[in-house]
Structure 1
């Protein structure tokens, strides 16, 4: 009897091959890196965003290396907004850190984020998460998800 192996997919499965290639090409050009590494970075950024789409509470955060892919995707605003709508049903904001935000243990955040990626059904490239040296100081709300939604505006006609 075979043990059931859950289906896992690469992050790149969330976008078209054409869009993935454009994002990878931009990383190669802007970061002066080889195409293989750029593809791994973008794949993990997409897997991270896929996990964020499924996550509605636990703060998640990309590693500095994976964040390169997220920043690259953000520059393609139309594609990114469409992706967010299709994959998450909402915009996945990247909110810079406020200096007054309490810092969380980077190793714990990395573990939690990788677990969320795996739980969402994506492959984790552990090498790109670099738990030992990861120090995320730029992100608030874990860089992962929308800040809490604003309450609906009050109708000025109602009291």
Structure 2
């Protein structure tokens, strides 16, 4: 790994995420070992965002869920961003245009799931591309250190492919014990 990545990895590893992990564990059906693996991948993603601010890396799956948990700890998240990147790393959701329309909302009120979230739809092309760029850069910058099993696979139609009941979280990623299928 290049020197900048080593320095940033050290900064990320020194930061205390205990409160974030506790919240993540209380809201997701995973164990501490799995949550720590997801945290390791979140740190890598945030490091890449720091080093490549114009790359528009996008997330899906458990790392995205943990990042949302972290963002809710606003002061801690701001402190982390300041230490790691020297700036705030903003959340810029890529919501499919189809979901934004009044017609879609009116016609699909009955599609809301028990957890109150809309069913998984194909991801926007920009999300698929940003996620592909992320996976490529994880391979380049962390060739033997990134946990491939944490990152969901996306099929050519832009949907997460899962088997064995692994898709338990709202964004369609696999959480603990499941496996994704390409």
| TM-score bucket (shorter structure) | 0.5 to 0.7
Task: Confirm or deny: 8 A CA contact 1:114 1:124 kept in the other structure.
Answer: no
Task: Confirm or deny: 8 A CA contact 1:107 1:131 kept in the other structure.
Answer: no
Match of 2:130 in 1: 109
Q: 1:84 to 1:135 in 2, by over 3 A?
A: farther
RMSD: 3.3
- Distance in 1 between residues matched to 2:67 and 2:9, nearest whole Å: 12
Match of 1:124 in 2: 146
How big is the shift at 1:13? 5.6
Match of 2:75 in 1: 78
Q: 1:76 to 1:11 in 2, by over 3 A?
A: farther
Q: Which structure 2 residues correspond to residues 88-107 of structure 1 after superposition, within 5 A?
A: 88-100=85-97, 103-104=124-125
Residue correspondences, number = 132
Q: 1:74 to 1:113 in 2, by over 3 A?
A: same
Is residue 29 of structure 2 the alignment partner of residue 32 of structure 1? yes
Task: Confirm or deny: 8 A CA contact 2:58 2:127 kept in the other structure.
Answer: no
Match of 1:16 in 2: 14
Unaligned runs of 5+ in 2: 99-122, 161-170, 172-182
- Distance in 2 between residues matched to 1:12 and 1:65, nearest whole Å: 23
Match of 1:87 in 2: 84
Q: Taking structure 1 as the reference length, what is the TM-score of the superposition? A: 0.65
SS in structure 2 opposite 1:85? helix
Higher relative contact order (CA 8 A, sep 6+): 1
